[in-house]
Amino acid sequence: MKELNQYFDHTCLKADASTAEIKKLCAEAKEYGFYSVCVNGCYVPLAAKELAGSAVKVAAVVGFPLGAMSSEAKAFETNDCCANGAAEIDMVINVGALKEERYEDVLDDICSVVASADEYNAIVKVILETCLLTDEEIVKACELAVSAGAEFVKTSTGFSTGGAETRHVALMRKTVGNLAQVKASGGIRDYQTCLEMIEAGADRIGASASVQIMSEYRSSQYQSER
């Protein structure tokens, strides 16, 4: 297993996020060696500037948090974020289209974002919003994401009726196999929950409590060594 810090997309996506909070997010990401920071599009230039010269990547959300805008808008947003320094794009699917079994629309929606990201060699994580889906819909969404060329499937925005659940992570892992990676996000606030997500198959963890989780992890390591 890779080092715990490298699982984290250190995240701040709240509507009232301030410049100071984004700078703090980036400073923490550098201090702890997190894989990336995940921010809203308006803060991509600032995050890219703050992280310049470090190994920490910038991830940006697209179509967030509802996924209910046009594919053209998502593609434009992806291009804007990548042009400003985002190396990863976390996009929300059109949940309504999926539930209505308009699978071609969902596929085209993801493909539009993947095509824009590919121009910058950026990777795409597809947010399914698992709390709104049946198991069958989760499986179908994962299959569509893989077909569209996305590198990750992701559980949640953290802004809907629920967050990541281990059973959903396990189902997503089983469905995508080695064809894509899995990101667990939403409501992961302690080390034990984080560990359960990784054991269920998560390759990446999205969390705003990354520092707290790392503190708990280091404390547990210290206690085990005594």
Digit-coded pLDDT (tens) for 187-201 = 999 999 999 999 999
Average pLDDT, the chain: 97
Asked if 183 is an active-site residue, the reply is yes
Residue 226: band (very low, low, confident or very high) from pLDDT cuts 50, 70, 90? low
- pLDDT tens digits for range 75-129: 999 999 999 999 999 999 999 999 999 999 999 999 999 999 999 999 999 999 9
Whether 224 shows a pLDDT value over 80: the answer reads no
Residue 221: band (very low, low, confident or very high) from pLDDT cuts 50, 70, 90? confident
3-state secondary structure of 29: helix
Domains (ranges, CATH) in the chain?
4-225 (3.20.20.70)
Q: How far is CA 45 from CA 11, 117, 205, in A?
A: 16, 16, 23
- pLDDT tens digits for range 122-156: 999 999 999 999 999 999 999 999 999 999 999 99
Alpha helices in the chain (DSSP H): 19-32, 44-51, 71-83, 95-99, 103-118, 135-147, 166-176, 191-200, 210-225
Question: So what's the pLDDT on residue 40?
Answer: 98
Question: So what's the pLDDT on residue 223?
Answer: 67
Query: How far from the centroid of its chain's Cα atoms is residue 3's Cα?
Result: 18
Asked if 57 is an active-site residue, the reply is no
Number of H helices, E strands in the chain: 9, 8
Whether 222 shows a pLDDT value over 70: the answer reads no
How many other CB atoms are there within 10 angstroms of residue 200's CB atom?
20
Residue 225: band (very low, low, confident or very high) from pLDDT cuts 50, 70, 90? low
Asked if 99 is an active-site residue, the reply is no
Element (H, E) at 57: strand 57-62
pLDDT over 70, % of the chain: 97
Per the residue annotation, which of 57, 74, 125, 154 is the catalytic one?
A: 154
- pLDDT tens digits for range 25-61: 999 999 999 999 999 999 999 999 999 999 999 999 9
Per the residue annotation, which of 9, 57, 74, 90 is the catalytic one?
A: 90
Q: Of the given ranges (19-23, 54-58, 215-219), which has the lowest mean pLDDT? A: 215-219
Per the residue annotation, which of 74, 125, 140, 183 is the catalytic one?
A: 183
CA 197 – CA 150 distance, rounded (Å): 21
